[in-house]
Amino acid sequence: MPNPTLAIVGRPNVGKSTIFNRIAGERISIVEDTPGVTRDRIYTKGEWLNQEFNIIDTGGIDLSDEPFKDQIKYQAEIAIEEADVILFVTSVREGVTEADELVARILYRSDKPVVLAVNKADNPEMRHEVFDFYTLGLGDPYPISGSHGIGLGDVLDEAIKHFPSEESEEDESIIHFSLIGRPNVGKSSLINAMLGENRVIVSEIEGTTRDAVDTRFISESGQEFTMIDTAGMRKRGKVYEKTEKYSVMRAMTAIDRSDVVLMILNAEEGIREQDKKIAGYAHEAGRAIIIVVNKWDLLEKKTDTMRKFEEKIRNEFLYLDYAPIIFVSAETKQRLNQLPDLIERVGMNQNLRVPSSILNDVIMDAVAINPTPTDKGRRLKIFYATQVAVKPPTFVVFVNDEKLMHFSYSRFLENQIRRAFAFEGTPIHIIPRKRK
Ligand code: GDP
Ligand code: GDP
């Protein structure tokens, strides 16, 4: 069950990014007393009353080349498209403006629930002025102060009421995956080729929320997959879909909903900065990863072309050394039939549980060949290790002092665990914990 999404909309300078940061619970972008400050992040996680959700700050999607009215319109469209609940922010200082009315009209036409917040109500007197905002026709206006942190609780209470209730239990055995990569690497071609070779399941439930664009299919081995929609698939050519921040955000939301991420590279172009950013996000999020080099038909091949390409990828994605690499062509269909089995395999590895007794044998053997590090005369002692989670496999290692567990030793233990068990394709987490 993916987290629900809350999108913040509103005209510039009403306090969207201030509120975004408040809800995110950390100062993740700098808000200054200048309008239109730069924001580094537009997508993050929030939590309220134990409910986790994703938040989008649509104001941070850079559309500044567009006329003012269009910017506002696109941002409202993005909110409608991406969100389960929309937080519409206005400001009591300026009252109801023409731009607010424009946003309201667009939101009004959609069937997404809207919570109307009137920001900058910093003191009690101002709270009475919010009644004007009933004219927007979007229900009760909530007076808040983003910078003082007043009233946000009521807004979030209201927002989570409208989140979709837990759907019918998702079948855990279905593997969700997505194809992530820059425009033109061949995502749509790969998707069509894969769907052409496997049996697609047509869902009985029509027109349900965003999931309607996901595709279910069964591979030859009988494994069921859900292929998650990503930006490249739609090709509707909307202005905002061409902005980099939006496409990165779409990739991140797809990764959040995936078990396995196929990182698609173009054999002719190699690796770009954006690929690394997105692969890094998938790694941090603990998703299984497969690196797919597409358009392999376009390279003139000598005996070591593949090995050299692989070396280049390994050097660029150092932390992804566990990710298998496959060289394919959507055009000639070369090796495409191997993809479903590969996705199935790494999906299983991500769910692998290893018995504590064998795990501890592996750790003890590891310590025997490479003694634990010392710091100022104190040596790291490992007492016991146990696997506490899957997806990704997570190990708690009980030690005398977790500060003595250096990154390099943790890396070494990870490698020894990988040698012993089939964790190909999945990140694994090692958490040192002091034994009480
Ligand atoms: P955005 O363009 O809608 O994202 O607006 P920002 O979050 O960048 O805020 C615009 C300006 O309003 C900044 O100078 C903020 O410090 C200020 N601001 C935000 N929230 C409040 C508030 O609750 N009260 C007051 N007085 N100022 C606020
Ligand atoms: P997307 O933007 O990532 O979805 O990329 P598309 O699937 O639209 O592909 C972009 C272009 O690359 C199209 O012209 C495709 O025909 C071409 N293309 C995709 N895969 C291959 C491939 O494996 N080999 C060759 N030669 N061309 C490909």
Q: Which two tokens stand for residue 223?
A: 């494994």
Percent of the chain with pLDDT over 90: 65
Residue 123 Cβ < 6 Å to ligand 1: no
Assigned fold of 356-434: GMP Synthetase; Chain A, domain 3 (3.30.300)
Binding-site members for GTP are: 10-17, 57-61, 119-122, 181-188, 229-233, 294-297
pLDDT at position 331:
95
CA 111 to the chain's CA centroid: 25
Residue 393 Cβ < 6 Å to ligand 1: no
Predicted-complex ipTM score: 0.86
Kindly indicate the confidence band of residue 406, based on its pLDDT and cuts at 50, 70 and 90. Answer: very high
Average pLDDT, the chain: 88
pLDDT at position 1:
60
Kindly indicate the confidence band of residue 208, based on its pLDDT and cuts at 50, 70 and 90. Answer: very low
**Topology alike, domains 5-161 and 175-350:** yes
Residues 6+ apart with CB under 8 A from 262: 177, 178, 179, 180, 190, 290, 292, 339, 343
Ligand 1 centroid – CA 134 distance (Å): 22
Q: What is the pLDDT of residues 155-187, one digit of tens each?
A: 999 999 999 876 656 678 899 999 999 888 999
Kindly indicate the confidence band of residue 38, based on its pLDDT and cuts at 50, 70 and 90. Answer: very low
Q: What is the pLDDT of residues 130-153, one digit of tens each?
A: 999 999 999 999 999 999 999 999
Assigned fold of 5-161: Rossmann fold (3.40.50)
Extents of the domains making up the chain: 5-161, 175-350, 356-434
Ligand 2 interacting residues, C-beta cut-off 6 A: 181, 183-189, 232, 294-295, 297-298, 329-331
Q: What is the pLDDT of residues 46-63, one digit of tens each?
A: 889 888 999 999 998 888
Q: Is the pTM of this model over 0.90?
A: no
Q: Which of 205-209, 300-304, 410-414 shows the highest mean pLDDT?
A: 410-414
Ligand sitting nearest the alpha carbon of 30: 1
Three-class secondary structure of residue 203 per DSSP: coil
Superfamily name with CATH number, domain 175-350? P-loop containing nucleotide triphosphate hydrolases (3.40.50.300)
Ligand 2 centroid – CA 263 distance (Å): 15
Residue 45, Cβ neighbours under 10 Å: how many?
A: 13
Residue located nearest, by CA, to atom 25 of ligand 1: 120
